Amino acid sequence: MTGSGRVSCAASLAVFGLLLAAAAPQAGAAVLRPGADRAGAASEAEVPRTGPAAEACRNSSRGHRGILRAAAPSPQESSPMQYNDLTPEEEWVILRKGTERPFSGRFWKHSAEGTYVCRRCNAPLFRSTAKFDSECGWPSFDDAIPDAVKRQPDADGKRTEIVCARCGAHLGHVFLGEGYTDRNTRHCVNSLSLDFLPVAGKELHRAIFASGCFWGTEYVFQRAPGVVSTTVGYTGGTTPSPSYRDVCGGKTGHAEAVEVVYDPGKTTYEALCRLFFETHDPTQLNRQGPDVGTQYRSAVFTLDETQRQTAARLIAQLRERGTKVVTEVVPATTFWKAEDYHQDYYNRTGRKPYCHGYRQRF
Q: Which residues bind Zn ion (CB under 5 A)?
A: 118, 120-121, 123, 164, 166-167, 169
Rounded to whole angstroms, how far apart are CA atoms 199 and 258? Answer: 23
* Known active-site residue 355: no
* Known active-site residue 188: yes
Nearest to 323 by CA among 274, 275, 362, 273: 362
Phi and psi (nearest 5°) for 288?
Answer: -150, 105
* Angle formed by the axes of helices 305-320 and 269-278, nearest 10°: 40
Q: What minimum distance in Å lies between the beta carbon of 167 and Zn ion?
A: 3
Residue 146's Cβ-count burial label (10 Å; 0-12, 13-18, 19+) is exposed
Nearest to 100 by CA among 87, 111, 113: 87
Q: What minimum distance in Å lies between the beta carbon of 286 and Zn ion?
A: 48
DSSP code for 133: -
Q: What minimum distance in Å lies between the beta carbon of 122 and Zn ion?
A: 7
Number of other residues whose CB lies within 10 A of the CB of residue 18:
10
Rounded to whole angstroms, how far apart are CA atoms 71 and 62? Answer: 12
Catalytic pick among 121, 213, 273, 355: 213
Q: What minimum distance in Å lies between the beta carbon of 166 and Zn ion?
A: 5
Closer of 103 and 116 to Zn ion (Cβ): 116
Catalytic pick among 188, 248, 273, 355: 188
Closer of 150 and 266 to Zn ion (Cβ): 150
Q: What minimum distance in Å lies between the beta carbon of 314 and Zn ion?
A: 45
Indicate the length of the chain as a whole number. 362
Closer of 168 and 282 to Zn ion (Cβ): 168
Nearest to 346 by CA among 230, 200, 209, 190: 230
Active site residues: 188, 213
